[in-house]
Amino acid sequence: MSGQWEVVKGKNERRSKVPVPKIAVKQSENKSKKPNILNGVKIEEVLSKTQVQNLYSGNKENKLQEKTTKANDVKKPEKKANKAPSEPQKPKPPKSIEAALLAINPDEFSLIYERSKIAFSDAPIVWLKELTQFLNQKIPLEIQDPVFSSKPFGYPLNVVPSNIKVTIEKAVREAGKGNAQLYFDIALTSLVTDLSKGLPAVGYRFFLQYIALNEPKLVIENLGKHISLRNSYQNRANVALSVLWAVGHVSVNDLQSGLKVFEDLMLPLLDMKSYSKYIVKYLIELTSQEHESPLTRDQYLLILDTTFSSKKNFPSELQKDLIGNLPKLKSLLFSNKEKFNNSVELFLKKIAATTNIQYQNCLCDILVEIFTKDQSTLTSWNKVYSKNLLASALLLRFISKTDIKSNLRKSLKDLMLNFSTTNEELLLKRRKGDGLREAIAAIKAAQEQEQAPSKNTGVFRKLLSSLIFVLFIAILTEPFYRLNKPRDDLYLFRFGSKIGQAGIWLDSKLDESVPKPYYTQTKEVVQPYGALAGDLLKVAINVHDHARSAVSGFVDEKYPLVVASIDNYAPGFIDNAQGLFKDTFAKSINYYHTSVNYLQKEVFVGQLSPENIQRVVVGAYNTTSEKAIEYYHWVYQKVQTSIK
């Protein structure tokens, strides 16, 4: 292998068809023939060992510098990127709905409404959507409790500032009822959609709540859509509860709409644990409000069935509140004008179908009230008695323990005789109905109780008669234990003077109203008897005065001796007794004034007010005077007839 440098050509160059000039070939051949002075000389032979090392080391340093410069060139733009200006920090989200509402500018909210109203004058739905989206953006909160169970009633609409609430009310009012109804459906659908996606949806709640409170009947018209929406999200409790919460506000101002929502929308979910507590609370709130709308029989029974429900997830701790509202519902039931003749058998079947004693007593109480208000319903009970023996037995036991009116008790006696006859006929049959023995025993117990004298019978009457007797004795004996009191100040004589004044007043009235010839003749006939009565009264007064003077003399003579003997045997007894009597009298006066104030403010109001009582008394007096005149004419005619 020669030590000369050779040029190696590629295949493309060798295959190239371009002709090479001969002059260039010759020149290259001549150059190659010249001797190369460096041919075969090595670097190590020319340079020293240290220089060779420096040469190689320098080459390595150059390569390292190239690498470092490349690395620096790559890193420089990163430093510039770090020096880029930082983005502005996002505002912190509000902690509560109240805080978010306070941060909203009312003028900005109103301006959005005015602009959208001008831009879309023919599309009120767009106005409401713009306002709702604005509230959604300003209140980006995730609601953990979709029904706001820990908040007061009416939340969150009741915490909206008045200047913002005015805009909401104005927008809904100017949109019209038809658009409000349509937007309720749109907002409810959008609410559940955004909740399922995790988007803020508080703004929808304000409009849903406001429309449901003010237009309950419009919301109920599309209840079928709300039910299908509930079914779609039934497995997602927070979304379905939002639907119940939004539609449930119709019950605040409309009992019938509230019951419709309860029956169709909520009641099917009562078995589910996630919904049962809210549904029962809804019913408690619905029945505790003051309503004027009457209840139908089916509505009342629906509430009763729910109140005494035996379902697994029913919150028993809330049952007491429901039972407390039943008397109010009972009055709403009987404010209904429908007849209850056809309801007797239905209530009896309900009694037999349940084993809950409270439920049975409640149904029995309703039946007793039905019998009291309309005794013709007892005939309906008599007709269906043989088919409802067990329920009739339970009802009879309840009646025997209840204080009922005397007229109803008399009708029940006759009815039980009919029941006894029916029982004898049923005993003759081979197949005896269920509850026959219980019915026979209940009738027998009720009849025995009627025959036995009641311990409480006439207690009030005896007490009243005793008080009247004591008062009469006190008035008669007053002259003898109040010896220093003048005779004209005694109650007996004051009462007598009032009777005399009443007689004079009656005489003047009769003289004016009765024809004088008739009245004059009557006075002539009656005058001897009146004179005799006056003489007897004078004798009684004289006897009374002599007796009183005798007692007074005896007391004046013996009283000091009695007082001295008492002080001798029991020093201070009289003073203590007088002090005790004064304290007792003062307390009795205080209680008397308290009772009078209570009667004036709490009892004698309405139909028992003094004005009404006075009107009734005057009417009774006028009627009595008319009857007295008629009787007088009748007597006068009889006298004239007998004389002739």
Q: Model confidence over 164-220: pLDDT tens digits? A: 999 999 999 999 999 999 999 999 999 999 999 989 899 999 999 999 999 999 999
Looking at residues 268-274, what average pLDDT do you find? 92
The reported pTM is 0.59
Looking at residues 256-277, what average pLDDT do you find? 94
Confidence of residue 25 (pLDDT cuts 50, 70, 90): very low
Instruction: Give burial (CB, 10 Å; 0-12/13-18/19+) of 405.
Output: exposed
Half-sphere exposure of 444 (CA within 13 A, CB side): 7
| pLDDT tens digit sequence for 318-350 | 999 999 999 999 989 988 877 888 889 999 999
How many whole angstroms separate alpha carbon 273 and alpha carbon 241? 12
Q: What is the DSSP string of 91-105?
A: PPPPSSHHHHHHHS-
Helix axes 124-138, 162-175, angle to 10 degrees: 150
| pLDDT tens digit sequence for 582-601 | 777 777 777 777 777 776 66
Q: Who contacts 64 (Cβ-Cβ below 8 Å, separation ≥6)?
A: none
| pLDDT tens digit sequence for 563-584 | 677 777 767 766 777 777 777 7
Q: Which residue has the higher pLDDT, 275 or 530?
A: 275
Phi, psi of 392 (to 5 degrees): -65, -35
Query: Quick one: pLDDT at residue 83?
Result: 45
Task: Tell me the C-alpha to C-alpha distance, in Å, between residue 163 and each of 129, 525, 527, 556.
Answer: 19, 87, 86, 86
**pLDDT, the chain, mean:** 78
At residue 262, does pLDDT exceed 60? Answer: yes
Cβ atoms within 10 Å of 424's Cβ, excluding its own: 10
User: What is the longest distance spanned by two Cα atoms in the chain?
Assistant: 200
How many whole angstroms separate alpha carbon 479 and alpha carbon 563? 21
Q: Who contacts 569 (Cβ-Cβ below 8 Å, separation ≥6)?
A: none
Query: Quick one: pLDDT at residue 286?
Result: 93
In this structure, of 9-18, 210-219, 232-241, 570-579, the range with the lowest mean pLDDT score is 9-18
Query: Quick one: pLDDT at residue 512?
Result: 74
Instruction: Give Cα 543 to chain centroid, integer Å.
Output: 71
| pLDDT tens digit sequence for 94-153 | 888 999 999 999 999 999 999 999 998 899 999 999 999 999 999 998 888 999 998 888
Instruction: Give Cα 435 to chain centroid, integer Å.
Output: 40
Closest CA to 261 of 222, 204, 316, 309: 222
Closest CA to 180 of 211, 149, 155: 211
Residue with tokens 């323990």: 401
Instruction: Give Cα 450 to chain centroid, integer Å.
Output: 42
